[in-house]
């Protein structure tokens, strides 16, 4: 578990359970949508898991729970069924969920839940902070918003570039990396519960009111259809 040095007085119960706890100083710049906080805290936990020899890493949040029995065996089966089909520095596909994965925004992959090879997950969250001075973000359209590299786009775009690719900042280019580097599962497929914004058990479902319902959420069916259409 990765948290902040300011939280150390609350960590005794976690230590008693044998949980490895990593703490960090909070970054000076929060970054757009607080992505610098996630960059620092995620890196600390992932780097520790990598250091102790973990071959697989699942990055998630302490305020989320997922209930699917044998989840990780299931994820391994999914990885076996969909191996990488392009030459890349990436070891295996990265599994993300549909919750905030949007096909209408560029390189907008959900950063709350990420599963894959330890090397790839560490590359995805390398601790790179967003130290830009931000004014309130003015919405223009999905493309221009994506170019700001705010939130999810910060991590995905930097990750793709770290593999040696040059981003074209088009919907076609974004879709290419989505289908070739990632594997998007429906949030419901891992039985995730997250009560941050709503007490609804199924708050991520499109029939509920959420801020992404008109943003073309990428679910497993949409990902699979695109994968099959561009079958290499």
Give the residue ranges of the chain where pLDDT is below 50: none
DSSP H helices in 2-114? 12-16, 35-51, 71-81
User: How much is the pLDDT for 199?
Assistant: 65
User: How much is the pLDDT for 138?
Assistant: 79
User: How much is the pLDDT for 133?
Assistant: 83
Model pLDDT for residues 38-50, shown as the tens digit of each residue: 999 999 999 999 9
CA dihedral 156, 33, 57, 54 (to 10 degrees): 110
Spacing of C-alpha 29 from chain mean position:
21
Model pLDDT for residues 129-159, shown as the tens digit of each residue: 998 888 777 788 999 999 999 999 999 999 9
């Amino acid at each position: 578990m990765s948290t902040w040095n300011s939280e150390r007085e609350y960590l005794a119960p976690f230590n008693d359970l044998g949980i490895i706890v990593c703490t960090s100083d909070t970054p000076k710049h929060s970054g757009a949508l607080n992505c610098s906080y996630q960059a620092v805290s995620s890196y600390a936990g992932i780097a520790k898991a990598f250091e102790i020899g973990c071959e697989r890493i699942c990055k998630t949040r302490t305020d989320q729970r997922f209930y699917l029995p044998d989840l990780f065996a299931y994820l391994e089966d999914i990885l076996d069924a969909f191996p990488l089909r392009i030459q890349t520095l990436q070891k295996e596909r990265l599994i993300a969920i549909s919750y905030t994965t949007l096909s209408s925004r560029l390189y907008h992959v959900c950063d709350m839940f990420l599963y894959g090879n330890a090397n790839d997950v560490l590359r995805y969250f390398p601790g790179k902070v967003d130290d830009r001075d931000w004014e309130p973000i003015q919405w223009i359209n999905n493309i221009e918003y994506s170019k700001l590299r705010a939130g999810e786009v910060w991590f995905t775009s930097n990750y793709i570039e770290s593999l040696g690719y040059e981003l074209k900042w088009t919907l076609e280019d974004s879709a290419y990396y989505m289908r070739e580097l990632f594997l998007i599962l429906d949030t419901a497929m891992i039985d995730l519960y997250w009560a941050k914004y709503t007490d609804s058990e199924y708050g991520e479902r499109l029939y509920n009111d959420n801020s992404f319902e008109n943003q073309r959420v990428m679910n497993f069916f949409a990902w699979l259809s695109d994968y099959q259409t561009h079958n290499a």
